[in-house]
Structure 1
């Protein structure tokens, strides 16, 4: 199961664990202190995957060295999610651009979404804010760069597993509760 959000505050990670989250996927560069999320996950006994992506734009995605690390992280996330036992929260800073492009890539490579439209509908069902903010040109970058690279690494001919179970009400209720209390509102980017 996969859900998406913005970067949770350290104290929210505990509440996410209480709500059933077993793994966090952080799509942020080291300079954004991504390791702090990993450290808190380790302290709480949660799995953590780091996808060191500094931005969802062409300059970031055309750097071969950076892409190798990003694909390694996405590959690790894919393999942990594929058996359906993990309940993961994927995030970047705002939960929009990098979150959208990485979620889209995982949906397409898993076979959960066979088309661009299906993938976007899944993202819309998971988090409307991410769907509305990711923009078509970033999805084009996923189609042109991330999906081919991850597909090659995964040997996509392997049997597909479902990655997304959109409605885990307990986790979604906890996230909404935190947002209503003003503790975790994502920034508006309109």
Structure 2
């Protein structure tokens, strides 16, 4: 059996949330056995996003792909797409899903997207930062202020308090 994934779930909105670096394909069944229901991949096609999706589905996970090519915040032209993805995942969490979010290193894209998710779920900025730190200290420490600022701008644009 593959080594157990090192995801640490935190209760969020009625469900469970975890963030991590890119999981090894052989660890996905173990992740599922730990209770994960959904894997959110923030990789580009060139980084093997489709292969991760196939492996996630084979392991019994629902797969959600948000194509983020790098650590740069998405431009305003993608705000609608980002908001839909965030609200869909927020809904899954409210319904009790156990969601794991990852990019490559689990720091920049993962931190930016997860912080935006928490804000979309109406967490205050300070509670979102604290929750991000509970999810993964390395992510919270190294996400970068410009990515958190992007998330705040998205929230204002979408009318989220």
TM, length-normalised to structure 1: 0.70
Greater Cα radius of gyration, structure 1 or 2: 1
Quote the residue 2:41 is aligned against. 26
Pick from 77, 88, 99 the counterpart of residue 99 of structure 2: 88
Q: 2:4 aligns to what?
A: none
Separation in 2, partners of 1:34, 1:70: 17
Q: Which structure has more strand as a fraction of its residues?
A: 2
Structure 1 equivalent of residue 31 of structure 2: 16
- Counterpart of 2:146 in structure 1 is 137
Aligned length: 146
C-alpha deviation, 1:106, in angstroms: 0.7
The DSSP-based 3-state class of the residue aligned with 1:122 is helix
| Structure with more helix by fraction | 1
Aligned to 1:169: none
Note if contact 2:45-2:67 (Cα within 8 Å) is conserved in structure 1. Answer: yes
| Equivalent residues of 1:52, 1:73 under 8 A apart | no
CA deviation after TM superposition for structure 1 residue 144, in Å: 1.3
Query: For residues 70 and 31 of structure 1, do their structure 2 counterparts lie closer, same or farther at Cα, with a shift above 3 Å needed?
Result: farther
Would the aligned equivalents of 1:52 and 1:70 in 2 still touch at CA under 8 Å? Answer: no
Provide the C-alpha distance between the structure 1 equivalents of 2:51 and 2:120, rounded to a whole number of angstroms: 29
Aligned twin of 1:76: 88
- Secondary structure of residue in 1 paired with 2:23: coil
For 1:62, the equivalent position in structure 2 comes to: 75
Runs of 4+ in 1 over 2 A off after TM superposition: 66-76
- Runs (5+) with no aligned partner, structure 2: 1-15
Normalized against structure 2, the TM-score is what?
Answer: 0.81
Deviation string, structure 1 residues 45-91 (Cα, Å, up to 9, x no partner)? 21111111112324xx2262x544434433332222222x2111101
Unmatched runs of 5 consecutive residues or more in structure 1: 158-190
Q: Is the 8 A contact 2:87 2:120 kept in 1?
A: no
